[in-house]
Structure 1
Amino acid sequence: MTTLICDCNKTMPLQEKTLGAALHEELTLHSTLCRREAGAFQAAIRTGADVVVACTQEKRLFGELAQQTEGAVSTIRFVNIRETGGWSRDAAQAMPKLAALLAAARLPEAEPVPTVTYRSSGRLLVIGELAQAERAAAMVSDVLDVTLFAQGGAGAQERRWPVLAGSIDSLSGWLGAFELKFSQGNPIDLDLCTRCNACVTACPEGAIGLDYQVKLDRCTDHRACVQACQVAGAIDFERVAQSHAEQFDLVLDLRGAPAFTRHALPQGYFHWDGQDLQTLLRLRELVGEFEKPKFFVYKQKLCAHSRNEVVGCNACIEICSAEAISSEKSRQQIKVNPNLCVGCGACTTVCPTGAITYAYPRASEQGLKWRTLLSTYAQAGGKDAVLLLHSQVKGQALVEGLGRSAQLKKAAGVPANVIPVALWHTASTGVDLWLSAFAFGASQVAVLATDEEALQYIDGLKAQMAVAQAIVNGLGYTGTHFQLLWANTPGELDAALQALARTRQLVARVPARFAVAQEKRSTLEMALDHLLEQAPQRPEAIALPAAGSPFGNVIVDKDKCTLCLSCVSACPASALQDNPELPQLRFIEKNCVQCGLCASTCPEDAITLQPRLLLTPERKEARVLNETQPYGCIRCGKPFGTLKAIEAMLGKLAGHSMFQGAALERLKMCGDCRVIDIYSADNEAKIGDI
């Protein structure tokens, strides 16, 4: 691995010896790597070793230079050390952070994952007022196959594109697979209409405009239009309304209210204000085959959504801003539509069991990156590390804008102890990775939120942070270690980061070295074990917020519970268990995910949840929540139920006409004896008849 650093025309106080020592590599400092010193880059990429270039501004130029360099065989990676710290008020103290960023850039690329494919042949539906729709169509019809859906207004006389009209019943789908359902009930059939304007001229009420549709609220039944259209036969007031369905690859919606109200719109759907030409440029490019990663992995056996069509956990469905997740209660699972999924990862963040996990990058790969950042930072002498998690779009732009403002002496810039980490989406990490980062040595984990985030994401992040904060504070790590930052301008981000960098928090004495697992619960257990080992205080239990708690106790009202064990069959995490030898309800608190399925299933309403983190050894051991005396069969003596359950059943059925005499007595027998008794009674009856 070869690392190339450049101080960008001496605008950064880089210390090549300090950086090299942290990376265990001898570094040469360049000042114009993308210009006069480009030969050093060419020499590096001819060696065959992977090359890390500490510059993202000239990424395109370096790529072109690599293509022109004979014998270049290296894989090239780029990392930004300029705006992230090299351009800041305390850049001279930022070497540990820059070393950490360079070390993370040297890690292997994320393993490939399955992909989702979209195919578009360019069939575009434009919905809107006719003249505006025709104007938009004119700008894209050279590459797209356009159909208009008229929403009133006067169009051009010449029919240049197919025109549909009527009332829209539904619009659904995604890039390459949109379906429009509409009802056509207007007297004028646009397929037959020749736009001769005879009906417009003949109508005494002016109820027909140049969209060639009758405005029925203004029509007073003169039917002069019908007479004028006798030859074409396009007007028929007796025509029965018809439902139609059409397929499209793309949708351009010009209406004031969009067809989709969700925060994350389907790919291939554009709501256009008629001004931003970038929208039309993006439309023109969407012809062909496209791929994106399948961002999630779902394991149904871990899912706490439902059992026996009773719903427990709905967290992923409620937080999904793309409406890509739906319930399949009959199959005891959720269903994720990969075509609608935008990869925000919010569902994986709020999932208590880890049934749905983020796949690109995987949690294990993300954990390795964070551990590398924090360990390199600490080894290079850095203290009070703050991980700043931000999106790759607006968050990245804010960080870079802040760096440029700092270079112009208009801002302080990213502090030396704040390490920016770009995520596909800020909602894609949660309490398992945050606690791991804290265990790895981060004094704080801050998530940067902007106006691009859906409101439900903010609520979900706040709930998860409250849980993480309660855990570390309960262990005696004082201070605020998990924060949600709000910023939409570089100035706002600057103020927030300066306040963040000034705080000093208590952290674990010895950083953890465990490898983050792909399984959420496993990672949580490793992080908790390490933090507990280093904890300033060790309480027996820590109370957790009810919203989003992945841990907790189950409290059973013994007076109500009949030990029917419905809760055992409903529990997806094997936290509630029976005892094959005795009528007992047992509980392993470590396994409980607080999904609530047990409480929803219990017919006696005897169960309540208690969000908490138990820290005693009993957390991992099975304990008895309720037990009762077994009920023995009155015929053979074998236990077949509980005394309380059988007595309750007898009390409810004693007055029923079908359970009198011998029938009532049979309820006190085990299944085998009940069959024998019925058979014996039948034989006795037959003998009596003889």
Structure 2
Amino acid sequence: MQAEDLLQARRNAEAREHALSQAGDMLTGSGGSVTYRSAGRILIIGGEEALLFAPRLLPELKPEVLVTDGSDEPSVPSVALAGRQCSIRGHLGAFEIDLGAPGKPGHQRLACDLILDLTLKGMVAAELPPPGYFRSDIDPLVLDGMAERLKDMVGTFEKPRYFQYDPDRCAHGRNGVTGCTRCLDACPAEAITSLGEHIEVNPWLCQGGGACASVCPAGAIEYGMPLAESLQERVRRMLKAYRQAGGREAVICFHTEDAADSIPARPELLPVVVEELASVGPELLLGALAYGAAQVWLWEEGEVPTRSRQAIEAQLAWIGALLESQGYAPDAVRLTGAGQASGAMQSAMPDDVEPAWFAPAGDKRQRLFAAVDQLHAQAPRPAPMASLPAGAPLGTAGISETRCTLCMACVGACPGHALQPAGDQPGIDFVEANCLQCGTCTRTCPEDAIWISPRLLFDGEARRRPRALHREPAFECVRCGKPFGTRKMVETVLERLRGNPMFTTARARNRLKMCEECRVIDLAEDQESELFGPGEAHRHA
């Protein structure tokens, strides 16, 4: 190592200590806590090994065995599975187990506070099983440790309520049509369920994985341990202090508490502890680059749940495409860990990028666009637009003019208000900054006339400005001349009602070409003609 490099390494080490001292405290959400109460009723699921193990939990616990096979005489209460389907729901202190189908012969329901599952494949499919559910193999040493662990699971327990949910922002569904399902797909605890137009997060099942908040395109779910805006402010302070103290090529390393000992001891590495890696969203990852980080690491230590890993990798894919489109290294933000970060550390971002020092402000998308605009302004090879992979939360929309009838169903369904009425003239406008790429519009359109495409438009003004997607001249009422729809809409209605017994006469079909007020008047006149005859109708008016 050259003398100059040694000197810079010393400066980086001093700058690192200064940066860590300036990090400041982080704010957590006000979601409160969740309470579990366990009286020690435990259901042990298994065969002969479960029958032999159950007495060891006495007297601290109250064991019952769900016997899957075996014929030993039980020394504790037991129930035979007897070929019935086993369905488990609930959590620590409130489990319910259905044996067989409810309402059918042979159905039985059990209740318990804890479950120990000794079956080979397990009875719960979720990657992160509910609190209070334990799986174990039947090795005697393993069971010894499990016995002591289970005996401690009696009493009252609390954990944070990790999230805050704003249903008004949620893009899950509109008017009976399902749109965004990103949070449901990403949750390894299967704690999120659909309620039609909104979702529900079960706080007793949620274990704080955080992927739901990072993949939410609208910011409807906010992770509270800590708040994303507070975490971003910590990163900003650290990078600012590091640079002002003479440090160069800073690497922001997000890691969990358990992974702290495995992080390399490098002077330019600034560690940031998070509850879970998947909780770090794209606005924070790109924000760190905008604040001057040379690289951003998500430090992986141990096993990351498959769904969480898929969520992280999907986000890194579109972040990488965004960076590459501007001439930056696509792996400036990366998932890495021990064995992957060895060797000399190279700066992934150009040295001449001037960092932004503005404090994070606004909602999730506003913070994301602020970081994007900062990076675009200094890009080595700026491009006006970046094509992004499928699933990215940014993009555009298009409409087929030959198919669209301007029924405005898509406008009414759009959760992000990206689709808007054009004003006085019949038409649809589009605000790209608001588009969540949720797909609600495409599933709502009765004519299959609209599509979406992931991309990022770097011109901030154009991104925020409404642009015309479709325009049509107004159709004028054949009776009063007032515009009330579009020609295509009227022609479509006439075609679809062809042969309808209510519109067989020329007058009835002509009524479809009238505005609502004239249609009512014409219908009343038509009914009077049928009752009194044409001349009498006028005298009774």
- TM-score, normalised to structure 2, is 0.90
Shift of 1:645: 0.9
- Residues 117 and 289 of structure 1 are in contact (CA less than 8 Å); yes or no, is this contact kept in structure 2? yes
Tell me if 1:95 matches 2:14. yes
- Give the counterpart letter for 1:298 in structure 2: Y
Q: CA deviation at 1:630?
A: 0.6
Residues 235 and 288 in structure 2, CA contact (< 8 A), matched pair in contact too: yes
Q: Partners in 2 of 1:434 and 1:507 — Cα distance?
A: 18
Q: What do the CA deviations read for 1:484-507 (whole angstroms, capped 9, x no partner)?
A: 11x4xxxxx1x4223472345316
Q: Which of residues 422, 427, 441 in structure 1 aligns to 2:292?
A: 441
Check if 1:162 corresponds to 2:77: yes
* Aligned with 2:522 (options 673, 677, 687): 677
Deviation digits for residues 428-452 of structure 1, max 9, x if unmatched?
Answer: 1121110111111111111123452
Q: Is the 8 A contact 1:629 1:643 kept in 2?
A: yes
Identity %, equivalent residues: 37
Is the contact made by 1:414 and 1:497 (CA closer than 8 Å) also made in structure 2? no
Asked whether the equivalents of residues 127 and 189 of structure 2 are also in contact (C-alpha less than 8 Å), the reply is yes
**Aligned pairs for 1:352-371 within 5 A:** 352-371=217-236
Partner of 2:6: none
SS at match of 1:651: helix
Pairing of 1:65-214 with structure 2 (within 5 A): 94-104=13-23, 106-107=24-25, 110=28, 113-130=31-48, 132-155=49-72, 160-166=75-81, 167-183=84-100
Radius of gyration: which is bigger?
Answer: 1
SS of the equivalent of 2:91 reads: coil
TM-score, length of structure 1 as denominator length:
0.71
Residue identity in the other structure for 1:672: E
Quickly say closer, same or farther: Cα 1:437–1:508, change in 2 above 3 A: farther
**Displacement of 1:353:** 1.2
- Are 1:415 and 1:501, in contact at CA under 8 Å, matched by a contact in 2? no
Aligned partner letter, 1:477: Y
Q: Distance in 2 between matches of 1:179 and 1:242?
A: 16
Take 2:217 and 2:29, find their aligned partners in 1: how far apart are those partners?
25
Matched with 2:377 is: 533
- Quick one: which amino acid aligns to residue 520 of structure 2? V
1:260-275 to 2 correspondences below 5 Å: 260-275=124-139
Amino acid at match of 1:480: D
Deviation per residue, 1:205-234 (Å, 9 max, x gap): xxxxxxxxxxxxxxxxxxxxxxxxxxxxxx
State yes or no: 1:648 paired with 2:492.
yes
Pairwise CA distance, 1:454:
1.7
How far does the alpha carbon of each residue in 1:341-391 deviate from its partner, in whole angstroms, 9 at most, with x for none?
A: 111111111111111111121111211221122222222221111112222
The whole-number CA distance in structure 2 between the counterparts of 1:272 and 1:463 is 32
1:246 — aligned with what? Answer: 110
Judged with a 3 Å threshold, the aligned counterparts in structure 2 of structure 1 residues 683 and 464 are, in CA distance, closer, same or farther, namely: same
The one-letter code matched in structure 2 to 1:449 is E
Pairs within 5 Å for 1:202-601: 242-275=106-139, 276=142, 277-329=144-196, 332-393=197-258, 395-399=259-263, 413-478=264-329, 480-485=331-336, 487=337, 493=338, 495-499=339-343, 501-506=345-350, 509-517=353-361, 519-547=363-391, 549-601=392-444
Residue in 1 that maps onto 2:5? none
SS at match of 2:168: helix
In the TM superposition, residue 92 of structure 1 has moved relative to its aligned partner by: 8.7
SS in 2 for 1:636: coil
Equivalent of 1:639 in 472, 480, 483 = 483
Say whether the 8 Å CA contact 2:28–2:225 is kept in structure 1. Answer: yes
Amino acid in the other structure paired with 1:301: D
Out of 520, 523, 533, which is 1:688 matched to? Answer: 533
In 2, Cα distance between equivalents of 1:244 and 1:278: 31
Question: Which amino acid in the other structure matches residue 598 of structure 1?
Answer: C
Q: Which moved more, 1:448-457 or 1:575-584?
A: 448-457
> Residue in 1 aligned with 2:3?
none
> 2:503 is paired with a residue of what secondary structure?
coil
- Indicate how the Cα distance of structure 1 residues 266 and 91 shifts in structure 2: closer, same or farther if over 3 A, else same: farther
Distance, in Å, in 1 between the alignment partners of 2:204 and 2:192 is: 11
Q: Deviations over 1:574-613 (max 9, x none)?
A: 1100134110111111111111111111111111212111
- Distance in 2 separating the partners of 1:93 and 1:437: 18
How far off is 1:112 after superposition? Answer: 5.0
Q: What is the letter of the counterpart of residue 524 of structure 2?
A: Y
1:397–1:271 distance in 2 versus 1, CA, 3 Å: farther
Change (3 A) 1:504 1:623: closer
Residue ranges of structure 2 left out of the alignment (5+ in a row): 1-8, 537-541
State the number of aligned residues. 518
Distance 1:344 1:124 in 2: 26
Partners of 2:425 and 2:27 lie apart in 1 by: 54
| CA shift digits 1:528-561 (9 cap, x unpaired) | 23223333444222222223x1211111111111
> Structure 1 residue 263: deviation in Å?
0.9
CA drift at 1:480: 2.8
Q: Tell me, yes or no, if the aligned pair for 1:362 and 1:518 is still in contact at 8 Å.
A: no
- CA spacing shift, 1:619–1:110, aligned 2, 3 Å: closer
Does the 8 Å contact 1:168/1:182 carry over to 2? Answer: yes
Unaligned runs of 5+ in 1: 1-89, 185-239, 400-412, 488-492
Q: What is the CA distance between 1:280 and its match in structure 2?
A: 2.4
The AA in structure 2 aligned to 1:315 is R
- Aligned mates of 2:85, 2:519 — CA distance in 1: 63
3-state DSSP of counterpart to 1:593: coil
Is the 2:30–2:224 contact (alpha carbons within 8 Å) kept by the matching residues of 1? no
The letter for the 1-side match of 2:159 is K
**Could you tell me how far 1:479 is from its partner in structure 2?**
5.6
Cα pair 2:26 2:226 within 8 Å, conserved: no
Contact in 2 for aligned 1:555/1:607 (Cα 8 Å): yes
Aligned residue identity for 2:216: C
Deviation at 1:279, TM superposition (A): 2.6
1 CA distance for matches of 2:494 and 2:262? 70
RMSD: 2.3
SS in 2 for 1:94: helix
Decide whether the 8 Å contact of 1:144 with 1:284 is kept in 2.
Answer: yes
SS of residue in 2 equivalent to 1:139: helix
Q: How far off is 1:466 after superposition?
A: 1.9
Give the CA deviation at 1:183.
4.8
**Structure 1 pair 241/568, CA: closer, same or farther in 2 (3 Å)?**
closer
Alignment check: 8 A CA contact 2:12 2:248 kept: no
- 1:29 is aligned to none
Cα deviation digits, residues 506-527 of structure 1 (max 9, x gap): 1663222233347211211221
1:342 partner SS: coil
CA contact (8 A) 2:422 2:428 kept: yes
CA distance in 2: counterparts of 1:531 and 1:100, whole angstroms: 22
Residue identity matched to 1:575? A
Structure 1 CA distance, aligned partners of 2:198 and 2:146?
38
